């Protein structure tokens, strides 16, 4: 069986993580070969390790030099030609006009829920995702929350099913391994986007630091550095909250380094308000890190009973959760065990079985 993974619009981040997991799962399946349509240079570079591991996986970009907006439209025009010799097309997020059976894997909540600051490109992408829900033979959703959002946007979603991504192998291999967290260390895996609510994380840090000023609280920000484009606002938010001296910008980390980093943190705080699925929270659990989230979008579905789930925007309760995670050692051991058990539901092996079943491979 030959499958075309059609993802010319995917960039590094959650989409690339999904692409790598799909390529790894399909590439390790006997009798399955894959052509991955990846156009962004940094995406192809990020997928190279997985591609090189599997003889039956290759990358074939469509219009790699085109700007992202033009690439999106050109991909639609060229898709029928590129996919004519495949048995199945698996597209990430969007509909493509192909003659072969089409499965669309929806990973982006913003394709069904308008952001606070809307734009014409986002409106077009939402229309495209909704078209996929109507016309694709099968529509897979990363979470029940995304599926529910799609159902609200589209009256009749064709061939719908749920497909949770798995955690990466670098994290799965740590499940059950005791960690040695640094006292007072909190991790924040984030980006400069406003919905990530970095300001809320800094306000929460300010509250616990005010309650215990002599304790060595440190918030380690993972994902970028002050020198990176767009991160000046994050630095300014830390300074505005009065916690710049307790914040360390770690930068962007690969999977191995991120797993090692999370294993040294007592707690991960994930205050983001818009996530299709809080995979970073599950990966933190796999590393023996306690997790604090807000009760928004897919958070409750993502963490189950293995995390602190706080009312949205409640700095006091978020701070109380960090305090409990830090000082309630007996309860912390139980939460870590619960986190390990929850993370076992999302192993790469389970994702491979579920993916093959969902696409009929």
Q: Which residue range(s) make up the domain with 17?
A: 2-167+347-359
Local confidence band at 46 (pLDDT 50, 70, 90 cut-offs): very high
Output the pLDDT for position 361.
Answer: 78
Output the pLDDT for position 113.
Answer: 87
Question: What is the per-residue pLDDT across 209-264, written as a single tens digit (0 to 9) for each?
Answer: 999 999 999 999 999 999 999 999 999 999 999 999 999 999 999 999 999 999 99
Output the pLDDT for position 100.
Answer: 95
Cα-only R_g, the chain: 21
Q: Same domain, yes or no, for 102 and 191? A: no
Q: Same domain, yes or no, for 207 and 303? A: yes
Q: Same domain, yes or no, for 78 and 201? A: no
Q: Same domain, yes or no, for 45 and 157? A: yes
Residues contacting 84, CB < 8 A, separation 6+: 99, 100
* Mean pLDDT, residues 14-37: 95
| Residue that has been written with the tokens 């399955």 in this structure | 32
Question: What is the per-residue pLDDT across 53-89, written as a single tens digit (0 to 9) for each?
Answer: 999 999 999 988 888 778 888 988 999 998 999 999 9
Q: Same domain, yes or no, for 150 and 243? A: no
Question: What is the per-residue pLDDT across 177-204, written as a single tens digit (0 to 9) for each?
Answer: 988 999 999 999 999 999 999 999 999 9
* Mean pLDDT, residues 324-351: 96
Q: Same domain, yes or no, for 148 and 29? A: yes
User: Is the per-residue pLDDT at 116 higher than 80?
Assistant: no
Q: Determine what percent of the chain is predicted with pLDDT higher than 70.
A: 100
Local confidence band at 33 (pLDDT 50, 70, 90 cut-offs): very high
* Mean pLDDT, residues 274-294: 97
Q: Same domain, yes or no, for 91 and 108? A: yes
CATH number of domain containing 127: 3.40.50.2000
Contact, 142 vs 163, CB < 8 A?
Answer: yes
The two structure tokens encoding residue 276 = 């299709």
Q: Same domain, yes or no, for 62 and 129? A: yes
Q: Same domain, yes or no, for 142 and 30? A: yes
User: Is the per-residue pLDDT at 117 higher than 80?
Assistant: no
* Mean pLDDT, residues 261-281: 97
* Mean pLDDT, residues 335-358: 96
Q: Same domain, yes or no, for 144 and 204? A: no
Output the pLDDT for position 118.
Answer: 77
Output the pLDDT for position 122.
Answer: 82
* Mean pLDDT, residues 290-311: 96
Q: Same domain, yes or no, for 17 and 69? A: yes
* Mean pLDDT, residues 280-285: 98
* Mean pLDDT, residues 334-353: 96
Q: How many domains does the chain have?
A: 2
Lowest average pLDDT, out of 10-14, 41-45, 92-96, 339-343, goes to 10-14
Q: Same domain, yes or no, for 72 and 178? A: no
Mean pLDDT computed over every residue of the chain: 95
Q: With CA atoms as reference, report the closest residue to 190 among 253, 129, 134.
A: 253
Local confidence band at 146 (pLDDT 50, 70, 90 cut-offs): very high
């Amino acid at each position: 069986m030959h499958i075309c993974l059609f993802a010319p619009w995917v960039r590094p981040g959650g989409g690339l993580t999904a692409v790598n997991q799909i390529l790894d799962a399909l590439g390790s399946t006997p009798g399955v070969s894959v052509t991955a349509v990846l156009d962004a240079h940094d995406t192809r570079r990020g997928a190279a390790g997985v591609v090189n591991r599997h003889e039956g996986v290759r990358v074939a970009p469509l219009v790699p030099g085109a700007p992202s907006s033009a690439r999106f439209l050109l991909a639609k025009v060229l898709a029928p030609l590129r996919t004519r010799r495949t048995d199945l097309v698996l597209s990430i997020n969007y509909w493509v006009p192909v003659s072969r059976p089409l499965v669309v894997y929806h990973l982006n909540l913003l394709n069904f829920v308008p952001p606070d600051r809307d734009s014409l490109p986002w409106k077009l992408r939402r229309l495209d995702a909704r078209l996929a829900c109507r016309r694709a033979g099968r529509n897979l959703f990363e979470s029940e929350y995304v599926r529910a959002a799609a159902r609200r946007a589209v009256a009749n979603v064709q061939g719908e099913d749920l497909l949770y991504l798995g955690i990466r192998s670098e994290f799965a291999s740590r499940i059950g391994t005791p960690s040695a967290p640094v006292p007072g260390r909190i991790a924040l895996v984030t980006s400069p986007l406003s919905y990530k609510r970095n300001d809320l994380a800094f306000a929460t840090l300010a509250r616990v630091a005010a309650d215990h000023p002599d304790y060595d609280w440190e918030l380690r920000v993972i994902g970028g550095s002050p020198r990176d484009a767009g991160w000046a606002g994050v630095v300014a938010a830390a300074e505005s909250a009065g916690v710049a001296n307790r914040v360390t910008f770690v930068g962007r980390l690969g999977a191995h380094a991120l797993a090692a980093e999370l294993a040294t943190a007592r707690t991960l705080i994930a205050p983001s308000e818009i996530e299709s699925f809080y995979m970073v929270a599950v990966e933190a659990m796999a590393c023996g890190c306690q997790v604090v989230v807000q009760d928004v979008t897919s958070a409750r579905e993502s963490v189950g009973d293995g995390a602190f789930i706080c009312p949205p925007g409640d700095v006091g309760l978020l701070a109380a959760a960090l305090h409990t995670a830090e000082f309630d050692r007996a309860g912390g051991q139980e939460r870590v065990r619960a986190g390990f058990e929850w993370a076992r539901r999302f192993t790469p092996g389970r994702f491979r079985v579920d993916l093959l079943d969902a696409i009929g491979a």
